[in-house]
Structure 1
Amino acid sequence: MALAGAAALAWGEWVNWRWSRALVGNAEGPAEAVVVLGFRNPQASANLVNRWRVRAGVRSIGADDPRGTRVIFSGGATDNAIAEAQLMADYAKSVLAFKGPLVLEDRSGTTWENITNVIPVLEDIDRIKIVSQPAHALKARAYLRRQRPDLADRLVRADDYRPGEWTIVKPLLALYGLWTLRGLTAGERRGTG
């Protein structure tokens, strides 16, 4: 039983690690954007998932020019609540003391809309990082590749996967990820599409 549990944890780590590295390259240039995708948030403050995504977004900022990185929070309102983008921005400023440039995209209700609605803000960016749980970020990168292959060539890896972080739930995240990624081609899931 312990061996099966260890195998499940190792599998969850491996799948999430692989997804975090799919459909990214080595784009270079001074202008960087970190796109943080929101998660359903019907309450008046950022929930656990959105707080983690904001922290992963902030730690994804390049060390060479942290104040010049454009952080884009993307997510609309759910259940007539405050937009996910606003809740994440509030958390970044009030709890993490983030003082860099912020852009709010607060109309999106789906991952496809997240990407569609942030494209205008990415036109002048050299390096694009998309932050979420690895399967969700991969899905968003695939959507950017479908909508704007020229911008997708600017995708680089975000710091949204770390070994040992969320370890206990990574097998469940991996199973859910397999289900949510079923609309992607095999090449997109492997990072070759």
Structure 2
Amino acid sequence: MARKMWVALGLCGFVGWGEFVHWRASRAEVGVRSGAGSEAVVVLGFRNGPGARANALNRWRVRAALRSIDRAVGTSILICSGGSGAGSVSEAALLARYAVAERGFAGPVQLEDRSRSTWQNVENLIPLIEHVDQIKFVSNPLHAQKARLYLRHQRPDLAARVVRSVDYRLGEAFPLKPLFALYGLRDLTRAKRSLAAQQL
């Protein structure tokens, strides 16, 4: 009985740690929202495979992007970002198709369909976001933090316009969060080391 109790406590602690890591990442590298007249909500694609429909993770990212749209903002543009992976259709196109055809999004949509990495995502997005008042990156929170970090290095002036999206919700997909946290923290650490090395 005692052993089961300790196992249960350990699992609860692991899940709680995953929640905390995602909560903290969702609030990193962001500013405070203001009365913006326009915003860009950028959803970053994930490797999709050869199918003609966005996979489960990409569909979740689109839903998080749609709930991140601020109805009080005058103009909100949904930007879908990601090049072609294993399939002939780009991740950006699959994300946009899901948002419009399956989720009923009727607002303006733009595609960035040339990127093969997060660094390229941010680099290629700059012409699409530099005219808006506020910017939101939507992905798994740690991946979105990585994108915000890259923007701060590529265009610090635009990074000052980045605000928090709604890609974190308490308890959402909680069994997977510890695994995403382990991978995301390792990936984020590598990104920070790479940026630090570039500055030497």
Identify the residue that residue 154 of structure 2 maps to in structure 1. 147
1:101 and 2:108 matched:
yes
- Distance across 2 between alignment mates of 1:107 and 1:8: 37
- Contact in 1 for aligned 2:53/2:94 (Cα 8 Å): yes
User: What is the letter of the counterpart of residue 93 of structure 2?
Assistant: Q
- Contact in 1 for aligned 2:47/2:86 (Cα 8 Å): no
Per-residue deviation, 1:185: 3.9
Task: Name which one, 1 or 2, has greater alpha-carbon Rg.
Answer: 2
Q: List per-residue Cα deviations over 1:48-107 (Å, max 9, x = no partner).
A: 0100000000000002147x2011000000124200000010000111100001000000
Q: Helix, strand or coil for the counterpart of 2:28?
A: coil
Identify the residue that residue 191 of structure 1 maps to in structure 2. none
- Contact in 1 for aligned 2:38/2:73 (Cα 8 Å): no
Q: List per-residue Cα deviations over 1:110-162 (Å, max 9, x = no partner).
A: 00000000100111111100000011000000000000000000000000000
Identify the residue that residue 26 of structure 1 maps to in structure 2. 32
Using CA pairs under 8 Å that are at least 6 residues apart, name the structure with larger relative contact order, 1 or 2. 1
One of 55, 58, 61 as aligned partner of 1:53: 61
Alignment of 1:1-193 (within 5 A): 1-28=7-34, 29-42=36-49, 43-65=51-73, 68-185=75-192
Q: List per-residue Cα deviations over 1:6-29 (Å, max 9, x = no partner).
A: 000000000000000000001432
- Contact in 2 for aligned 1:32/1:125 (Cα 8 Å): yes
User: What is the letter of the counterpart of residue 109 of structure 1?
Assistant: R
- Distance across 1 between alignment mates of 2:142 and 2:87: 27
Q: Helix, strand or coil for the counterpart of 1:104?
A: strand
User: What is the letter of the counterpart of residue 62 of structure 1?
Assistant: D
- Contact in 2 for aligned 1:27/1:126 (Cα 8 Å): no
Q: Runs (4+) of structure 1 moved beyond 6 Å?
A: none
- Contact in 1 for aligned 2:82/2:92 (Cα 8 Å): yes
Q: Cα 1:19–1:88, aligned 2, differ >3 Å: closer, same or farther?
A: same
- Distance across 2 between alignment mates of 1:178 and 1:35: 21
Q: Helix, strand or coil for the counterpart of 1:69?
A: strand
How many residue pairs get matched? Answer: 186
- Contact in 1 for aligned 2:78/2:107 (Cα 8 Å): yes
What is the TM-score of this pair, normalised by structure 1? 0.93
Unaligned ranges ≥5, structure 1: 189-193
What is the TM-score of this pair, normalised by structure 2? 0.90
